[in-house]
Protein backbone atom coordinates (compact mmCIF):
# COMPACT_ATOMS: atom_id res chain seq x y z
CA UNK A 1 0.00 0.00 0.00
CA UNK A 2 1.40 3.40 -0.96
CA UNK A 3 0.83 6.44 1.22
CA UNK A 4 0.75 9.92 -0.28
CA UNK A 5 3.96 11.86 0.24
CA UNK A 6 3.60 14.78 2.65
CA UNK A 7 4.22 18.07 0.86
CA UNK A 8 6.71 20.30 2.61
CA UNK A 9 5.58 23.79 3.56
CA UNK A 10 8.09 26.57 2.82
CA UNK A 11 7.25 30.01 4.18
CA UNK A 12 9.09 33.28 3.63
CA UNK A 13 9.05 36.85 4.88
CA UNK A 14 6.21 37.92 7.14
CA UNK A 15 4.54 34.49 7.11
CA UNK A 16 7.72 32.80 8.36
CA UNK A 17 8.31 35.54 10.96
CA UNK A 18 4.75 35.07 12.24
CA UNK A 19 5.22 31.29 12.45
CA UNK A 20 8.48 31.68 14.40
CA UNK A 21 6.69 34.08 16.78
CA UNK A 22 3.77 31.66 17.20
CA UNK A 23 6.13 28.76 18.04
CA UNK A 24 8.07 30.95 20.48
CA UNK A 25 4.80 32.01 22.17
CA UNK A 26 3.49 28.44 22.29
CA UNK A 27 6.71 27.36 24.01
CA UNK A 28 6.37 30.20 26.57
CA UNK A 29 9.56 31.94 25.39
CA UNK A 30 11.79 29.13 26.71
CA UNK A 31 13.85 26.26 25.35
CA UNK A 32 11.76 23.11 25.51
CA UNK A 33 14.86 21.06 26.41
CA UNK A 34 16.66 22.98 29.19
CA UNK A 35 14.16 25.73 30.07
CA UNK A 36 16.48 28.66 29.27
CA UNK A 37 14.90 31.92 28.10
CA UNK A 38 15.08 32.33 24.31
CA UNK A 39 14.93 35.87 22.88
CA UNK A 40 12.06 36.65 20.52
CA UNK A 41 13.01 36.24 16.86
CA UNK A 42 15.41 33.34 17.48
CA UNK A 43 15.02 30.84 14.66
CA UNK A 44 12.93 27.81 15.64
CA UNK A 45 14.23 24.27 15.19
CA UNK A 46 12.55 22.02 12.61
CA UNK A 47 11.93 18.36 13.47
CA UNK A 48 12.57 16.43 11.35
CA UNK A 49 15.50 18.49 10.20
CA UNK A 50 17.26 18.47 6.86
CA UNK A 51 15.56 17.65 3.57
CA UNK A 52 12.27 16.69 5.28
CA UNK A 53 11.84 19.90 7.28
CA UNK A 54 8.60 21.79 6.87
CA UNK A 55 7.51 25.21 8.12
CA UNK A 56 4.60 24.02 10.28
CA UNK A 57 4.21 24.77 13.99
CA UNK A 58 3.49 21.08 14.65
CA UNK A 59 7.03 20.35 13.40
CA UNK A 60 8.93 23.18 15.06
CA UNK A 61 10.22 23.86 18.57
CA UNK A 62 11.95 26.65 20.47
CA UNK A 63 15.53 25.74 21.42
CA UNK A 64 18.27 27.84 23.02
CA UNK A 65 21.50 28.13 21.04
CA UNK A 66 23.21 25.42 23.12
CA UNK A 67 20.43 22.84 22.71
CA UNK A 68 20.04 23.74 19.03
CA UNK A 69 23.75 23.12 18.49
CA UNK A 70 23.53 19.85 20.46
CA UNK A 71 20.64 18.66 18.29
CA UNK A 72 22.60 19.27 15.09
CA UNK A 73 26.17 18.44 16.08
CA UNK A 74 26.34 17.05 19.63
CA UNK A 75 26.95 13.57 20.95
CA UNK A 76 23.44 13.64 22.52
CA UNK A 77 21.67 14.59 19.30
CA UNK A 78 19.45 11.49 19.34
CA UNK A 79 18.28 12.20 22.90
CA UNK A 80 17.45 15.80 22.04
CA UNK A 81 15.53 14.63 18.95
CA UNK A 82 13.47 12.23 21.06
CA UNK A 83 12.67 14.96 23.60
CA UNK A 84 11.53 17.29 20.81
CA UNK A 85 9.37 14.60 19.22
CA UNK A 86 7.81 13.66 22.56
CA UNK A 87 7.10 17.31 23.35
CA UNK A 88 5.40 17.90 20.00
CA UNK A 89 3.33 14.72 20.41
CA UNK A 90 2.13 15.90 23.84
CA UNK A 91 1.24 19.36 22.55
CA UNK A 92 -0.61 18.12 19.46
CA UNK A 93 -2.27 14.88 20.55
Which residues, 6+ apart, have CB-to-CB distance to 24 below 8 Å?
A: 38, 40, 41, 42, 44, 62
Does residue 3 register a pLDDT over 60? Answer: no
Q: What's the whole-number mean pLDDT along residues 86-93?
A: 95
pLDDT of residue 93: 85
User: pLDDT band for position 69 (50/70/90)?
Assistant: very high
- State which H helix or E strand residue 60 sits in: strand 60-61
pLDDT tier for residue 4 given thresholds of 50, 70 and 90: low
Per-residue pLDDT band at 66 (split at 50, 70, 90): very high
At residue 18, the 3 state secondary structure works out as: helix
Whole-angstrom distance, CA of residue 62 vs CA of residue 20: 9
Q: What is the pLDDT of residue 2?
A: 56
**Mean model confidence pLDDT for the chain:** 93
Amino acid sequence: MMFPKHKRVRLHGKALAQLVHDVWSRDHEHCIICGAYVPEGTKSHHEPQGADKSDEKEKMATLCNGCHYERHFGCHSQEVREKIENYLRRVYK
